[in-house]
Amino acid sequence: MSGCDLTRAFCNKSDMMNYFQIPVLLLLLSAFLLSCSNTDDSSSQFSFDLRELAKQNAGPGLSFSEQDAALRFQPDSADHALLLDTGGIHWTKAAYLVMEVEHNAPYSAILYIDFYRRGTQGQAIVQQGEQHSAHQPRISPKIGVLPHLPTQVIFPLSHLDGQDIFLNRFPRQLKGTVLGSRLAPEDISRVALRLAPFQEPGFRPSVTIRSLRLTEKLPEALPPPSGPVVDSFGQWTARDWPGKVTQGSALSSTMRELYQAARQADYPAQWSRYGGWKARQFDATGFFRTHHDGRRWWLVDPEGYAFLSMGMDCVRPHAEGVLSGQENLFAWLPPREDTLMAEAYSESRGMDVVDFYKSNLIRTFGERWRGNWDTLTAGLLRDMRFNTVGNWSDIDFARNARMPYVLPLGNFPETKVFLYRDFPDVYSEEYQQNAGHYAAQLAAYRDDPYLIGYFLRNEPHWAFGYHNLAFEMFATPDSSATRRAFTEWISKQYEGKISALNEAWQMDLPAFQAFDTLTLQDMPGGRAEADFRTFSEKMVARYVDVVCDAVERIDPNHLNLGMRYAWISSDLLYKAGERFDVFSINGYSFPGPPATEEIARRSGKPVLIGEYHFGAIDAGLPSTGIQGVATQEDRGIAYRYYTEQGFARPEVIALHYFQWNDQPVFGRFDGENYNIGFLDICLRPYAPLRRAARRTHERIYEVAAGSASPFEEKAKRIPQIFF
């Protein structure tokens, strides 16, 4: 999952001085006392002495309890960090950093582990949701922790290489992401632990740390919790809220009422069968296309009517979460011996998962649960005036419901060698061949008038952050066709004179062929960065051109919707957008969409925002998602403001909300557990959101045409709680 801000944030020196302003005496004390006093795990390499840690970080918000040998950390500011003096610790001999923690609050906690490097640090880390770090660690994992539940937070030190953004799922631990630049374990100079969200009043997290250690192996599981975390309907047991389901009869009656109402739903008379606007018509082609009328961009539906895509992502009859290693969190699990209930179980990414959304459907509708879900869902979408089934949705549902939809293409072409994160060897014959296989999946859709277009891929990891791809390619000596292409190119740039390159780069290479095996930890001087940046543009252009050529040969009828970037992290993304029909970006910003005028100006394309959402913590989940507001009423207000302000912009032709269902409280495959759905786990729509969507969508064409003013009220914002 997946926001953008077109400006870059840079940390100023005074902020850093305040952050590390610790009495010099403490830093000159001996290295942490290393013992196994807090754990008997035989795989431990080092165990930090929590008592000594409290002494070295002495100050407000930190205390050591002799009674239970635990450290309590409650930051007194957003920048307050628990610093680890890592001298004498052999990070290269361990595989995992493990912390046993617990926090008691009505919201999930976010634990940051900031790793600093000797000498050169990283750049300011920017994340989705316009979230900027005030500090400049070399690399920074970010991990979510459920409230009221002892949790072993596990960070694999292998992720310090910066190649994988997302952590594998561990029991009880919520989602983990890793941003920043590669860091060799032997170069670690300092580790800082921070907590979020922090905002006075109301958000001041407190965590109890019972152990903090380095291990060779994954630790043993913690004992079962004192009571269930998840009830028989898939709801959180830690608190109650208005509308919480307590009886199966209430679940069934609500769902059946929705089903009956949904069967009667349809679009307004002034809309076409595709959801287009009959008041404005252009030339029809039988497929969706883009059109600029001299004032603004539009989509045009197959009948020629003006169309704005009001979409919903993840419209599908499931909302599964991880069961493996977490079996003792549940008050009840669907009986596997029941043939129907067994459908609530499946496997995802090598883990067993369980789906209470599906089991609640089966409880109500029995064997007809899937067909009734189709009817209920299509009716609810039309009732709320959504006219597009967005990304990650059940395509069979979209096609059977005869609603416009978008298609996420799978299996983007890869190569055996990756140059940086998920960036393939784009100059190789292997990449060319795999692009052809990839494009073939479009053949089954080329004649479908309900398909608006296809996304090439989602949030490529190479674009998470400001990275010089050509330079990153030299982190290892791996041979590749792209590396050979660089050697040939750079030789031509300097007319075959290695002395000219050495002077320009402040290096002493014997020949251009040295680039074939060269490794670089730091950027050379002089013109090196600019040269690497120029070749990075060539890499990205080839990355896109090869694939676009392939898909356009298979399907000339539908729109190429691009790659759904997480945010604009560098100019390379504009370079990659030159071949798209629509420039797509995920827009987790507040209160309105991120800056889109510059995207349209620089790309010459209309803009599709593929994801945005707002969550609160007043109902059944403890995490807001990437943008947080105070209440469910505020979620409705936030939706109206974002959507109407967005479509009031002449370059915006599509806004797709993420997502249809709430996520499971115990975490989906990667650990997200956000209150971002239009429906909760018991299939009950959030009434304020449902009303807001209908009101906004029924007037959105007038807002886009300039004959109605966009909604102006802003929701009350709270801190972002996402991982």
- Say if residue 27's pLDDT is above 80: no
DSSP SS3 for 113: strand
Strand partners for 139:
115, 180
**Beta carbons of 635 and 715 less than 8 angstroms apart:** yes
Which DSSP string do the residues of 396-411 spell out, in sequence order? HHHHHHT--EEEE--S
- Of the pLDDT bands very low, low, confident and very high (cuts 50, 70, 90), residue 85 is confident
Averaged pLDDT, 31-45: 46
- 171-210: pLDDT as tens digits: 999 999 999 989 999 999 999 999 999 999 899 999 999 9
Which of the following CATH numbers is that of domain 248-390+579-718: 3.20.20.80, 3.30.360.10, 1.10.443.10, 3.40.718.10? 3.20.20.80
DSSP SS3 for 609: strand
The set of residues, in sequence order, having a beta carbon less than 8 Å from that of 60 and lying 6+ positions away, is 76
- Say if residue 21's pLDDT is above 70: no
Tell me how far apart the alpha carbons of residues 464 and 127 are, in angstroms, rounded to a whole number.
8
Tell me how far apart the alpha carbons of residues 461 and 480 are, in angstroms, rounded to a whole number.
20
Tell me how far apart the alpha carbons of residues 67 and 156 are, in angstroms, rounded to a whole number.
31
**Beta carbons of 469 and 424 less than 8 angstroms apart:** no
- Residue whose C-alpha is closest to residue 370's, from 340, 328, 345, 331: 340
Length of the chain: 723
The set of residues, in sequence order, having a beta carbon less than 8 Å from that of 287 and lying 6+ positions away, is 302, 449, 451, 557, 558
**Beta carbons of 561 and 555 less than 8 angstroms apart:** no
Q: For residue 372, give Cα distances in angstroms to 107, 315, 349, 367, 384.
A: 34, 14, 29, 10, 18
- Residue whose C-alpha is closest to residue 287's, from 276, 274, 298, 301: 301
DSSP SS3 for 698: helix
- Say if residue 123's pLDDT is above 90: no
Q: Higher confidence at residue 554 or residue 466? A: 554
What pLDDT is attached to residue 133? 54
What pLDDT is attached to residue 569? 86
What is the phi/psi pair of residue 467, to 5°? -125, 135
Alpha helices (H) in 38-155, listed in sequence order = 50-56
What is the phi/psi pair of residue 579, to 5°? -95, -10
Burial (Cβ within 10 Å: 0-12, 13-18, ≥19) of residue 493: middle
Tell me how far apart the alpha carbons of residues 301 and 309 are, in angstroms, rounded to a whole number.
10
Q: Higher confidence at residue 186 or residue 575? A: 186
- Residue whose C-alpha is closest to residue 360's, from 689, 664, 673: 664
Domain boundaries 13-215, corresponding CATH code: 2.60.120.430
Tell me how far apart the alpha carbons of residues 723 and 668 are, in angstroms, rounded to a whole number.
12
Which amino acid belongs to residue 279? A
Averaged pLDDT, 519-540: 96
Tell me how far apart the alpha carbons of residues 717 and 589 are, in angstroms, rounded to a whole number.
12
Averaged pLDDT, 429-434: 98
Q: For residue 615, give Cα distances in angstroms to 97, 111, 258, 331, 634.
A: 31, 20, 23, 26, 9
* CA 362 to mean position of chain CA atoms: 30
Across the chain, what does the average pLDDT equal? Answer: 91
- Say if residue 586's pLDDT is above 60: yes
Locate the domains of the chain by residue range.
13-215, 248-390+579-718, 418-554
**Beta carbons of 448 and 399 less than 8 angstroms apart:** yes
399 Rama sector, left if φ>0, alpha if ψ -120 to 50, beta otherwise: alpha
Q: Which residue has the tokens 């909300």?
A: 657
Burial (Cβ within 10 Å: 0-12, 13-18, ≥19) of residue 297: buried
